[in-house]
Chains A and B, each alone.
Chain A
Amino acid sequence: MGTVGPQADHFPDGGDMTLLRGFLWLLGFQLLGQLVVEALALPVSHAMAGLLLLLAWLLVNRGLSESVATASQALIPLLAMLIMPGVVGVFFVIDEFAGHWTAVVAALVVGTFLSVLTTLWLMRRFMPREDKGRDAGSRPA
């Protein structure tokens, strides 16, 4: 696209609105999720319902539009940063949960050890053996 002239500075993408269009799709599915959750009084978050609706939409249409792919590639790496303000709160609730920290630590340490042990045992029990004949590393199936 020929982007010469004063406008070029304002539209560095040369008028490519793929990201914005994808972002609008994601917001649309979140709103749709909110609608469904409120209408049916479902016990899931609006974003979670939006995720499931978008997944269903992708499966039914058997295709991923470039705009949605672009927007998700832009947003997913930001997730860690977006949850960080919530993590900050943990330093300010230490007093609020005083007296329960033994229970919390025990539940985290022992609970995680037991659940990792269970998952490994279940997977070893039910996972079909690796196909040694074929190229094992290239495709996990």
Chain B
Amino acid sequence: MNALHASLLHTPVLAVALTLAAYLAGMAMFERMGRPSWCPGVLIGAVLTAAGLWLLRLDVADYQRHVAALTLLLGPATVALAVPLYQQRRHIVALWRPILCCLPPAALLAALYAVLIAWLLGAPPIVLASLAPKSVTAPLSIGIVEQIGGSVSLMLGGLLITGVLTTLCVSLLARLLNITDPRILGFALGVNGHAIGIVRAFELGPTAGAFASLGMSLTGIFTALFLPLAWRLLGL
């Protein structure tokens, strides 16, 4: 019995199957709950995966080594993001001026505010590096964190919280500042709240959704280019 358990644990198939099962169950629960914006489906799936690891007495380090057989797909899936960006080229050309004026400072400040606040509160470099790409869509921020030396797990946790907080802040501030333009709201959701912001933007309408996708893609690319460079210059 123990030998069987051990042999199951030493195959990537179990890790991959657990991941797929937890993800599918997590998404089904997310649907059942009425797609709550405060609790992304991925988070439910991650909790279920952690519970599965505990039940199977599978070490998390072993799990992550084995599941690499599946997450290998993250590379080509990230490259594939060039396609939606290419399809949005019309919007980018039509609005190059406001995009050029807004996107670099917005993406830069999204990283800077978080790093500055954490630094003032005495956080070590590894925490700062994990917080810096908090507004960048996960496939790109994983690449960034590997470049600047943060913790992928801490970064992904912060990323999910940032996405949820962005949807709350945009709703609140839109009311306070009396902003109703779906282009502005969508862009703010995408720039700050990555994929979670996009989901919220599509609830506001297709225009907001398109601008959120645009904001997310451009923020990701801009941040992936400037953050490792800034880190190198600061000597962190």
Contact = CB atoms under 8 A, between A and B. Distances in A.
Contacts of A26: 76-77, 79-80
Contacts of A76: 77, 80-81, 83-84
Contacts of B74: 47, 79, 82-83
A108 B79 contact: no
Given A116-B192, A120-B179, A120-B188, A97 B127 contact: yes
Contact of A116 (B23, B41, B160, B170): B170
Interface in B164-212: 165-166, 169-170, 173-174, 177, 179, 181-188, 191-192, 195, 205-207, 210-211
A78 B116 CA distance: 34
Interface in A63-81: 64, 68-69, 71-73, 75-76, 78-81
A72 B80 contact: yes
A92 B153 contact: yes
Interface residues of A, number: 76
Contacts of B53: 88
A85 B135 contact: no
Contacts of A64: 83, 86-87
Q: Is the interface of B mostly helix, strand, loop or mixed?
A: helix
Contacts of A43: 147, 228-229, 231-232
B42 A83 contact: yes
14 contacts: A26-B76, A26-B77, A43-B231, A45-B224, A50-B79, A76-B80, A79-B195, A83-B138, A84-B19, A90-B46, A107-B113, A113-B169, A140-B186, A140-B211
Interface of B: 19-20, 22-23, 26, 41-43, 45-47, 49-50, 53, 60, 63-64, 67, 70-71, 73-87, 89-91, 94-95, 97-98, 101-102, 105-106, 109-110, 113-118, 121-124, 127, 131, 134-135, 138-140, 142-144, 146-147, 151-154, 156-158, 160-162, 165-166, 169-170, 173-174, 177, 179, 181-188, 191-192, 195, 205-207, 210-211, 221, 224-225, 228-229, 231-232
